[in-house]
Structure 1
């Protein structure tokens, strides 16, 4: 089974999508408008003023005029989407309570990779997607753990990269 088809992965991406949609709904309600398009354009004028989920919510409201895809999610050769994809990384991160500092950053990066897979390499996808469910549960690997995961992922063959669905599975692989 490919990782993207695995319930663990699908549940994690769905949880992120729901959190982005909820953040957008709350933001829109606080702004007192139902005009998603105009509000999204305002947010993207200065994404550093908003939480990353609000910025991602704004991106979901707009279509790229060049490629027709959701803004920031189009093909790699779409320059407007490439620029918009960067907006999500200019936004603010507020760490959740009761989780390690930096967890929110890890969730933002991992979810961006998982939600726009075609924009990232197979090895980057493998690493970030493997950890996303655990990050959402509050885990945060140490630098040494992250480096270990990366080293193990780098040893995987191209055909194996989509097959690994859990970090423990990666750690159990025999690379001798």
Structure 2
């Protein structure tokens, strides 16, 4: 995959150029490098935010419900009797015990926490790896592609594993 870059050179904006085209046009290497790195950082933000969106409920009310359930599941002894009664009702409707429902909630919450934290760590690590690439590297585009490819592969694998855990091993 060829990166497209946007940059400003001699006061003129340029959009969606290939690195090779910019080099052929005589754009200085530091301008190209900065554009490649900025494009890569933007791509990191796009793909990490896409994963975040997949683990986030579109409904604030549903998200609040999950948080309350997680709190109850972590420490049922501290829950109010009325809250436990709601857990009992949901468990009965699902045809499982309250203990099984609480265990399921804990397992799913753990998987969600792990993937959310991984996404944050992966984003920071990828941005650091991009920043560490030498500004004058002749193969900067290839190095960036390697960093992005590795990050995307790791995120995809971890996300799929978390989704499997969230979906009960199915």
Higher RCO structure, 1 or 2 (CA under 8 Å, sep 6+): 2
Of Structure 1 and Structure 2, the greater helix share is in 2
Of Structure 1 and Structure 2, the greater strand share is in 2
Which band: TM-score by shorter chain? under 0.3
TM-score (norm 1): 0.26
